[in-house]
């Protein structure tokens, strides 16, 4: 047997002579560190990253065409806290935070250069199935309500302040559950698991358009007052000229006939020029909300 093994090894050695020679010790790629060339645009994560990318990638490509030599890159975030942490860490060159985050970004070295329009759309809706017996906010007492997230201004904070202002103790009288996204909130209400849900004009419209049959089962119970729409901020180190070009491009986008407006299914192409002052009402709203309902922890300023 030993002889056979020896002979086998000899033959094998001959057969694999070249193979063993070619066997590498292991491969490891090599490269070099390259600076990031793209301008990062952070979008507040009101939906999942893929949807967010699909929604805003056309907008960024438009900016690149309008401002030759620039390249923009969408960056999503896992959730609002993650987005707000990146905002605080000045990760983004530009960002599209919600109004509350816009107001907060001013404290992180950003400045408002534009905002979405119309503000009419930036109001909260309280939506419920049509077969729900709800005539006044107090009828929701003891019921379960769902919202996208605690820091969603239009879909959560405006509806909760509305209910509070109309006599419902949102801290004790109702069970509030945050379901993660705008569309999840509507779907949960449609399924009947919740008596009502918080939404916005924009998302309710989009959902109704995409789900017309289901939309017939639903009804908008109440509409809140409006606030300044989502702001578009630029980091303080972005060259002012570039910031101005970006702001002007955004402001003219929904009027650009050469642009296919139909690709913006969430009406995210409507912008106007804005400044830090535009968001003073938002700061007042946050103060009131904090008193009435209580700001969620991430939105509380360190001083409070």
Which pair of structure tokens corresponds to residue 303?
A: 């001083």
Examine residue 89 and tell whether it contacts other proteins (CB under 8 A): no
Contact 166, 196 (CB under 8 A): no
Contact 61, 73 (CB under 8 A): no
How far apart CA 228 and CA 98 sit, in angstroms, is 9
- Of 227-286, binders to other proteins (CB under 8 A) are none
Q: At what angle do helices 158-165 and 280-292 cross, to 10 degrees?
A: 60
Candidate list 53, 256, 266, 294; residue touching other proteins; CB under 8 A: 53
How far apart CA 6 and CA 65 sit, in angstroms, is 72
Examine residue 16 and tell whether it contacts other proteins (CB under 8 A): yes
Examine residue 87 and tell whether it contacts other proteins (CB under 8 A): no
Examine residue 11 and tell whether it contacts other proteins (CB under 8 A): yes
Number of residues that bind other proteins (CB under 8 A): 41
Candidate list 59, 72, 75, 199; residue touching other proteins; CB under 8 A: 75
How far apart CA 221 and CA 50 sit, in angstroms, is 31
Q: Is the peptide bond before 118 cis (omega within 30 degrees of 0)?
A: yes
Examine residue 12 and tell whether it contacts other proteins (CB under 8 A): yes
Examine residue 34 and tell whether it contacts other proteins (CB under 8 A): yes
Candidate list 67, 70, 73, 187; residue touching other proteins; CB under 8 A: 73
Examine residue 81 and tell whether it contacts other proteins (CB under 8 A): no
Examine residue 180 and tell whether it contacts other proteins (CB under 8 A): no
Smallest gap from Cβ 269 to other proteins, in A, equals: 16
Smallest gap from Cβ 237 to other proteins, in A, equals: 19
Examine residue 17 and tell whether it contacts other proteins (CB under 8 A): no
Distance between terminal CA atoms of the chain?
Answer: 84
Examine residue 31 and tell whether it contacts other proteins (CB under 8 A): yes
Contact 80, 73 (CB under 8 A): no
Smallest gap from Cβ 285 to other proteins, in A, equals: 28
Residue 110, strand partner residues: 235
How far apart CA 31 and CA 283 sit, in angstroms, is 48
Distance set, CA 270 to CA 74, 171, 202, 230, 277 (Å): 18, 35, 12, 11, 20
Query: Which listed range, 13-21, 108-116, 120-128, 194-202, lies at the site for other proteins (CB under 8 A)?
Result: 13-21
Smallest gap from Cβ 256 to other proteins, in A, equals: 21
Examine residue 28 and tell whether it contacts other proteins (CB under 8 A): yes
Give the residues lining the site for other proteins (CB under 8 A): 4, 7-9, 11-12, 15-16, 19, 22-24, 26-34, 36-38, 40, 45, 48-50, 52-54, 57, 73-78, 82, 91
């Amino acid at each position: 047997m030993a002889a056979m093994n020896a002979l086998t090894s000899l033959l094998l050695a001959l057969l694999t002579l070249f193979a063993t020679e070619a066997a590498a010790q292991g491969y490891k790629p090599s490269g070099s560190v390259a600076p990031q060339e793209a301008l990062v645009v952070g979008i507040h994560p009101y939906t999942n990253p893929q949807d967010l990318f699909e929604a805003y990638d056309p907008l960024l490509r438009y900016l690149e065409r309008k401002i030759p030599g620039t390249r923009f890159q969408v960056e999503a975030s896992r959730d609002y806290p993650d987005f707000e942490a990146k905002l605080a860490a000045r990760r983004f060159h530009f960002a599209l935070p919600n109004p509350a985050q816009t107001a907060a970004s001013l404290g992180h070295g950003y400045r408002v250069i534009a905002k979405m329009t119309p503000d009419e759309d930036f109001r909260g809706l309280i939506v419920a199935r049509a077969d729900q017996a709800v005539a006044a906010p107090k009828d929701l007492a003891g019921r379960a309500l769902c919202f996208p997230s605690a820091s969603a201004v239009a879909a959560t904070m405006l509806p909760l302040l509305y209910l509070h202002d109309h006599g419902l103790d949102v801290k004790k009288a109702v069970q509030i559950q945050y379901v993660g996204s705008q569309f999840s909130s509507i779907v949960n209400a449609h399924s009947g698991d919740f008596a009502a849900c918080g939404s916005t004009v924009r998302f309710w419209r989009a959902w109704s358009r995409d789900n017309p049959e289901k939309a017939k089962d639903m009804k908008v119970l109440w509409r809140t007052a409006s606030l300044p729409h989502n702001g578009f901020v630029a980091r303080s180190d972005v060259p002012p000229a570039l910031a101005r070009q970006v702001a002007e491009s955004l402001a003219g986008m929904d009027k650009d006939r050469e642009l296919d407006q139909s690709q913006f299914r969430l009406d995210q192409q409507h912008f106007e020029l804005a400044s830090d002052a535009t968001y003073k009402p938002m700061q007042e709203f946050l103060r009131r909300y904090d008193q009435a309902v209580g700001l969620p922890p991430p939105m509380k300023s360190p001083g409070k």
